Structure 1
Amino acid sequence: MENKRYRKELEYKLGIVFKDESLLNVALTHSSYANQKKHVKYNERLEFLGDSVLQLVITEYLFMNYKEKSEGELSKKRALIVCENSLFEVAQRWKLGEYMIMSKGEELTGGRYRASILADCVEAIIAAIYLDRGIEVAKTFILGNFKGIIDRAMKNEIVLDYKTKLQERLQEHGDIDIRYDLIKFEGPPHRRKFFMQVQIDDSILGKGEGYSKKEAEQNAAKEAIKNMEEKYE
């Protein structure tokens, strides 16, 4: 990392001191930065490896600890645990965007807060830990950081796609036209927050916000589902 103090600060958050500091540097480097600099490695290859390490650790944990669950049930739960939303949640916990190395252009368009970029970086960090410290340290790291997500997934408290779930619930009563509308947005271009609402005809079911329209729509759908559940409790 260009600033050693920031790298040490992140290592403290991760609970990992790297033997090979270059692995963490690569894990934090976005392709947009490498495209502007010659001979700079970036994190896409590490992301590829980290995805597999994460899948293996979570698969083994579910297999060993939920023996009553079928293969199909475990596959669905694993998908919830390793999805982009879960990885993004972990990244936000570390404020990972602050430590990433990216081009000025990517930063100005909100790259430090983009869920897909941060989720990929988490996978790259997992790979860096695996290569630097081995599978047992990587396993401890993953289970420590994903334990709450695993617990929520197994209690059916995580939904992969709130928009789809809302659509399915509402269409139990026949075809219904669901509409997502942008209420407003605020903030500078590189940190723009969107406010959306979901409604049927003139009835507003829920509102949500996020740093992309997609995220705001998902949060609006999530609130709508919560409101429906409270109404019929």
Structure 2
Amino acid sequence: MSRSKHLPVPPRTDTEALVEAWGTRIDAPLLQLALVHRSYANEAGGIANNERLEFLGDSVLSIVIAQKLYEQYPDVAESDLSRMRAATVSQQPLAAAARRIGLGDFVFLGKGESTHGGRDKDSILSDTFEALIGATYLTSGLEEARRVILERLSFLLVDAPSRGQHQDWKTILIEHAQAQGLGEVSYEVEGQGPDHQRVFTAHAFVSERPDPIGAGQASSKKHAENAAAQDAMSRLSPEK
């Protein structure tokens, strides 16, 4: 990859250290591509970026985590498995995994992203993490990608059931809707009952679909919306 002298260089370019932290070899051209964010590619004259690798890595990640949860929790219902998977492969936990290996310091970013904290943005870190998965899959195949994924995300999988119950589902739904091209997320909330026993019912919508995609009830609007988002993710996550 040619580098313009006018574009920022990542704080670290010793990719051997990244490969060691990642846990497996990646073909050099694929590794380089996995680290190129769209902002850098655009400012460099439209060179290739990591989004196709991210797309591939997202699919590999989803099937690996789905199979792991299926095998690890044989008595858990499908809807709960879907929630656990969503809580593991969403933006925030993947960004946390990326921070553990210092991934942000290796990413090629455009001037704007580099100046405004892009190296620690959840979206950039999680996308680059998925791009590395895609590059690993193309280099070494599914089984090696599986090994690395389970190693890198082991800290998330140990408490997947509890994390699945206590996630910020509204944020997870927004991320999923954006990734799947479902449009903006909104909620309609109605309250019933006396003030001291008020029950709120929320319905979640996305702008690309006419009908509600999830529903939930709780004693507050906030928790009702979160429950609706959780219900929506249990229905939508098989589409991921």
- TM over 0.5, yes or no? yes
Equivalent in 16, 20, 25 of residue 12 of structure 1: 20
How far residue 163 of structure 1 moved from its aligned partner, in angstroms, is 8.1
How far residue 157 of structure 1 moved from its aligned partner, in angstroms, is 7.4
> Does structure 1 residue 46 correspond to structure 2 residue 30?
no
CA displacement 1:48-100 (0-9 Å, x = unmatched): 11111000000011112211011111111111011111101101101111000
Which secondary structure does the structure 2 equivalent of 1:9 belong to?
Answer: helix
> Does structure 1 residue 117 correspond to structure 2 residue 118?
no
How far residue 154 of structure 1 moved from its aligned partner, in angstroms, is 2.1
| Contact persistence 1:51–1:123 (CA under 8 A) | yes
TM (norm. structure 1) is: 0.66
Please give the alpha-carbon distance, in whole angstroms, between the structure 2 residues aligned to 1:12 and 1:154: 30
Which secondary structure does the structure 1 equivalent of 2:24 belong to?
Answer: coil
Which secondary structure does the structure 2 equivalent of 1:69 belong to?
Answer: coil
Please give the alpha-carbon distance, in whole angstroms, between the structure 2 residues aligned to 1:134 and 1:69: 29
1:165-180 to structure 2, matched below 5 A, reads 174=198
Partner residue in 2 for 1:73: 80
- Distance change (3 Å), C-alpha of 1:80 and 1:109: same
| Contact persistence 1:46–1:123 (CA under 8 A) | yes
The residue identity in structure 1 corresponding to 2:60 is V
Which secondary structure does the structure 1 equivalent of 2:60 belong to?
Answer: helix
Figure out how many residues of one structure are paired with residues of the other and give that number.
169
Please give the alpha-carbon distance, in whole angstroms, between the structure 1 residues aligned to 2:157 and 2:89: 9
Please give the alpha-carbon distance, in whole angstroms, between the structure 2 residues aligned to 1:129 and 1:172: 55
- Distance change (3 Å), C-alpha of 1:163 and 1:38: closer
Equivalent in 78, 83, 92 of residue 85 of structure 1: 92
Please give the alpha-carbon distance, in whole angstroms, between the structure 1 residues aligned to 2:44 and 2:13: 22
| Contact persistence 1:152–1:158 (CA under 8 A) | no
Partner residue in 1 for 2:105: 98
Consecutive unaligned residues in structure 2, runs of 5 or more: 4-9, 172-194, 200-240
CA displacement 1:7-49 (0-9 Å, x = unmatched): 111111111222x201011111000111012352111111111
The residue identity in structure 2 corresponding to 1:43 is N
How far residue 6 of structure 1 moved from its aligned partner, in angstroms, is 1.4
| Contact persistence 1:126–1:142 (CA under 8 A) | yes
The residue identity in structure 2 corresponding to 1:144 is E
How far residue 148 of structure 1 moved from its aligned partner, in angstroms, is 1.5
Partner residue in 1 for 2:42: 35
Please give the alpha-carbon distance, in whole angstroms, between the structure 2 residues aligned to 1:50 and 1:172: 49
How far residue 155 of structure 1 moved from its aligned partner, in angstroms, is 3.7
- Distance change (3 Å), C-alpha of 1:106 and 1:123: same
Please give the alpha-carbon distance, in whole angstroms, between the structure 2 residues aligned to 1:85 and 1:37: 29
How far residue 156 of structure 1 moved from its aligned partner, in angstroms, is 4.1
Runs of 4 or more above 4 Å deviation = 1-5, 171-175
How far residue 124 of structure 1 moved from its aligned partner, in angstroms, is 0.5
Task: Among all aligned residue pairs of Structure 1 and Structure 2, give the percentage whose two residues are the same amino acid.
Answer: 39
CA displacement 1:156-213 (0-9 Å, x = unmatched): 477321889xxxxxx99659xxxxxxxxxxxxxxxxxxxxxxxxxxxxxxxxxxxxxx
- Distance change (3 Å), C-alpha of 1:7 and 1:60: same
Please give the alpha-carbon distance, in whole angstroms, between the structure 2 residues aligned to 1:6 and 1:12: 11
Which secondary structure does the structure 2 equivalent of 1:41 belong to?
Answer: coil
CA displacement 1:104-148 (0-9 Å, x = unmatched): 221001111111111111011000000011000000000111111
- Distance change (3 Å), C-alpha of 1:162 and 1:75: closer
- Distance change (3 Å), C-alpha of 1:174 and 1:22: same
Q: Of the two structures, which has the highest relative contact order with CA contacts closer than 8 Å and spacing of 6 or more?
A: 2
